[in-house]
Amino acid sequence: MSMSAAIAPAKVEDLPAAPRDWLPILLVPILILLALPLVGSFPTWATLTIAGLAMGLIIFLVASGLTLVFGLMDVMNFGHGIFVALGAFVGVTTISMLGGWTASSSFALNLAAIGCAGLAAAVVAGTVGIAFERVMVRPVYGLHLKQILVTMGGMIVAEQVILALWGPEARPMMRPASLQGSFIFGDVAIEKFRLLAVCLGLAIFAAMFLLLNRTKLGLLIRAGVQDREMVEALGYRVRFLFIGVFAAGSALAGLGGTMFGLYQELVTTAIGAQMMVLIFIVIIIGGLGSVGGCFVGALLVGLASNYIGFVAPKVNLFSSILLMVLILLWRPQGLFPVAKR
Amino acid sequence: MLNNMLSRDLPRSKLLAAILLIIIVGLLATPFVFPGARSLNVGAKIAVFIVLAASYDLMLGYTGIVSFAHTMFFGIGAYGIGIASTQMGPTWTAVAAGTLAALILSTVLALGISLFSLRVRAIFFAMITLAVAAAFMTMASQFSDWTGGEDGLNFKVPELISPAFSLSDEKFLGANLDGKLIAYYMVVLISGGLFLLMLRIVNSPFGRVLMAIRDNDFRSEAIGYRNVTYRSLSSVLAAVFATLAGVLYALWLRYNGPGTTLSFDIMIDVLLIVVIGGMGTLYGAVVGSTLFNIAQGYLQDLLKLAQGNIDSLPVIGALFHPDRWLFWLGLLFVLSVYFFPFGIVGKLRAGALAKTRRSA
């Protein structure tokens, strides 16, 4: 009797829930609260916090694709920054073509202009991403050293092509009329565009979270990150998944480029390399291959660089590195280590 | 004796030996054969970049780890001389103090970065060095009281190697016998010495362990070598040699700024030199650096010529613009990683090997 009871399969409800690791997520509110006495005045702090969140979410857009690509196929794409630069330049061109829409004071038309620019950037960057995967990455699977060299070389070449197409001058990137200026709540001034960036970033994060956690495709991607060979043994072609993720990651990087261009209101070819540094710090902090970790890491880096940029501008970039060092001392594999890697 | 000097690591290809000989004789004869400031500058730059590229190859080609912070160490060496010379005046004491301080800083930084990142995973190293180098560069331009910011530092060097010093008023074979000439030979000879020292290192038992780690890190660990220790030592050694290269470069130029030693463009140049010349062969650094520095001066002229003919085509014409010369080098870089992983030197050696096999 007791034997058969032991053999009976456990019901789903009987299984213990997977333990959630809340500690890293708590770091974000802790950092925000710690910064308040450091910054001193509440209105400045609120402005900096929104700016940090906006920047963090833009970084997340760009970094999420890179970390998934690494998780799935063990490919570290050092040329990822080129999609950012490409997206920014396509965005500039699109927005300047839609001059009528951006100049009008109608919020809907302005939003449509940004939407078109983002879409164009995503489509172009995604297409180039597929080509980049085919030409640059595919011949060097499994060879880390060559991957780094080839993708870096690809970045050099692509950067020169962008320079040839758009010219070497920095392009100013105007925000549409109704997104210029700030909302004023009492003493607190919040730039309208930053608020939009926060909303957009959160929406995309939510969509990605649902896709990864609630669909079969997402299940396969997550499983592939955990153990590629097992998923292949079950009959799924992780290679196709990978191409899809690579294209989607490049498209998101392109969108992130447009947003970052609007955030800085200036676009240069250096935008890609500039962002690459932050992206690497973010995905190392998050744990290579982890999207959740990438999200937390991006917010931390965005916030820290805005706070420190205000308190001690000279050591701004070192603040992100210091943050990374501290987190790696605490968890050497990043905030959310991915199994096996 | 030659065999001992080259640490029994001979060129192993007649053509390569001939090319190396031409480069050495060319560097030594430059002041007399091609007098003029421009050719002297190119010669000194070739010599310094041989050391810089060879030290990078110590990591990339011999140990199999990619660093993007190599120019940071190059810059530390150059800033060491620059800052010491501006603060202490143009004396040899200042040169010694600057070099020593730079070497200590480089060693500590390299050791810190390696122990921190190589302990976890080798790919961390590439990413972390990229971040640290970027941060270091912004810091160098921020602390402008010391570093001169974006403008850099102009400083005086000890009298013996400054252009004002003169051995004799008469010209010898068309060259002025002045401090500039002494400085040139100092740079070239010290570079040669450093190169031979590195050749000694990679051909020592220590160098063999590095190559074992490069080829199969799992196995070398299993045999009983601590990969982390060896990889870290290799990156520290590379940093030390890069610092010395920076010292030489600053003494030669009597100027240092972020664009001359620290910038990421120089990092890319070094990558191109090492890969095109040949990874894992120090001679590749010699060939690559010579080729690159000559190309840098003259490829642009060639492109100007080409542009005149196809200027009418929209995008292609823009790619032949003299400023786009990095495009062509980048293309060459990618192609050589795919098709000639051991670069020019590897190709020459393979050719020589095939020939001896045929005749045997």
Token look-up 């333990």 returns A19
pLDDT of residue A1: 44
The pLDDT confidence band at residue A100, using thresholds 50, 70 and 90, is confident
The candidate with the shortest Cα–Cα distance to B330, out of A336, A153, A237, is A153
Contact B230, B210 (CB under 8 A): yes
What is the pLDDT at residue A321?
Answer: 87
Q: What is the DSSP-derived secondary structure letter of residue A334?
A: -
Sign of the CA dihedral running B278, B47, B245, A322: negative
Counted across chains A and B, CB pairs separated by less than 8 A come out at 102
pLDDT one-digit tens code per residue, B180-223: 889 999 999 999 999 999 999 999 999 999 999 999 989 999 99
Give the pLDDT confidence of B273-285 residue by residue, as tens digits.
Answer: 999 899 999 999 9
- CA-CA distances (angstroms) from residue B118 to A200, B4, B65, B66, B241? 37, 34, 9, 11, 20
Contacts of A63 in chain B (CB under 8 A): none
pLDDT tens, residue by residue, B300-340: 677 777 766 665 566 666 667 767 778 888 888 888 888 88
- Please state the rounded mean pLDDT for residues B90-105: 95
Of B131, B324, B327, the CB nearest to A281: B131
Residue to substitute from A156, A161, A338, interface B, most B β-carbons within 10 A: A156
Any A CB within 8 A of B225 CB: no
Q: Give the mean pLDDT of A35-47.
A: 87
Interface contact B267, partner A, CB < 8 A = no
Please list every residue in chain A whose beta carbon sits closer than 8 Å to the beta carbon of residue B128.
280, 284, 324
**Contacts with A332 from chain B: Cβ below 8 Å:** 119-120
CA pseudo-torsion sign A332, A337, A339, A340: negative
Q: Does B127 touch chain A (CB under 8 A)?
A: yes
> pLDDT tens digit string along A135-168?
888 888 878 888 889 999 999 899 989 988 888 8
pLDDT reported for residue B8? 79
Q: For tokens 């001359």, what's the residue?
A: B260
Give the pLDDT mean for B20-45. Answer: 89
**How many structural domains are present in chain A?**
1
Residue A326 forms part of a structural domain: yes
The string of pLDDT tens digits covering residues A109-140 is: 888 888 999 999 999 999 999 999 998 888 88
A152 touches B329 (CB < 8 A): no
Does the CA dihedral A294-A296-A300-A306 come out positive or negative? Answer: positive
Instruction: Check pLDDT > 90 for residue B355.
Output: no
Contact A149/B271, CB-based, under 8 Å?
A: yes
> Which of residues 295 through 314 in chain A touch B, CB cutoff 8 A?
314
Q: Which domain holds residue A302?
A: 42-330
Chain A contact set for B131 (CB, 8 A): 277, 280-281, 317, 320-321, 324
pLDDT tens across A206-244, in order?
999 899 889 999 999 988 888 888 999 999 998 888 899
In this complex, is the C-beta atom of B132 within 8 Å of any C-beta atom belonging to chain A? yes
Q: For residue B37, what pLDDT band results from cuts at 50, 70 and 90?
A: confident
List CB contacts (< 8 A) between A156 and chain B. 268, 326-327, 329-330, 333
Average pLDDT over residues A46-59: 92
What percent of chain A has a predicted confidence (pLDDT) above 90? 38
How many other β-carbons are positioned within 10 Å of the β-carbon of residue B65?
A: 26
Give the separation between CA B13 and CA B342, rounded to whole angstroms.
14
Q: What is the pLDDT of residue B250?
A: 95
Nearest by CB to residue A157, choosing from B127, B138, B331, is: B331
- Window 136-155 of B: residues touching A by CB (8 A cutoff) are 138-139, 142-143
Q: Can you tell me the distance from the alpha carbon of B103 to that of A218, in angstroms, rounded to the nearest whole number?
A: 51
pLDDT at B43: 92
**A336 within a domain of the structure (yes/no):** no
Q: Is residue A166 part of a domain?
A: yes
Using a CB-CB cut-off of 8 Å, the residues of chain B touching A333 are 120
Of B126, B132, B330, the CB nearest to A148: B126
Residue A273 has pLDDT above 70, yes or no: yes
State yes or no: pLDDT of B122 exceeds 90: no
State mean pLDDT over B255-259: 89
Which chain A residue has the Cα nearest residue B340?
A146
* pLDDT at residue A190, as a whole number: 85
Name which of A144, A148, A156 is nearest B330 (Cβ-Cβ): A156
pLDDT bucket at B55, cuts 50 / 70 / 90: very high
| The CATH number fitting domain B2-359, selected from 1.10.3470, 1.10.10, 3.40.190, 1.10.287 | 1.10.3470
The arithmetic mean of pLDDT across residues A323-338, rounded, is 87
**pLDDT at position B317:** 65
Residue of A156, A318, A321 lying closest to B333 (CB–CB): A156
Q: Looking at per-residue confidence, does B304 or A199 come out higher?
A: A199
- Does A276 reach chain B within 8 Å, measured CB to CB? yes
Higher pLDDT, B299 or B357: B357
Phi-psi region of A340 (alpha: psi -120 to 50; beta: other; left: phi over 0): left
Which of the two residues, B50 and A76, has the higher pLDDT score? B50
> What pLDDT is attached to residue B54?
96
A40 interfacial to chain B (CB closer than 8 Å): no
- For residue A340, being part of any structural domain is answered with no
Taking residues B57-74, report their average pLDDT.
93
The average pLDDT across B160-179 equals 77
End-to-end CA distance of chain A: 44
At A58, the pLDDT band (50, 70, 90 cuts) reads very high
CB contact under 8 A, A284 and B138: no
Which of A157, A316, A325 minimises the CB distance to B330?
A157
CATH of the domain at A188: 1.10.3470
Whole-number pLDDT of residue A119 = 95
- Asked if the Cβ–Cβ distance from A146 to B334 is below 8 Å, we say no
Question: Does residue A24 belong to any structural domain of this protein?
Answer: no
The model's confidence at residue A247, banded by pLDDT at 50, 70 and 90, is: very high
Res B135 pLDDT > 80: yes
Can you give the pLDDT at residue B139? 85
Domain ranges of chain B: 2-359
Q: How far apart are the first and last CA of chain B?
A: 28
Confidence bin at B236 (pLDDT 50/70/90) = very high
Which range among A100-104, A268-272, A291-295, A305-309 shows the weakest confidence by mean pLDDT?
Answer: A100-104
Q: How large is the ipTM?
A: 0.84
- Is the Cβ of A330 closer than 8 Å to some Cβ of chain B? no
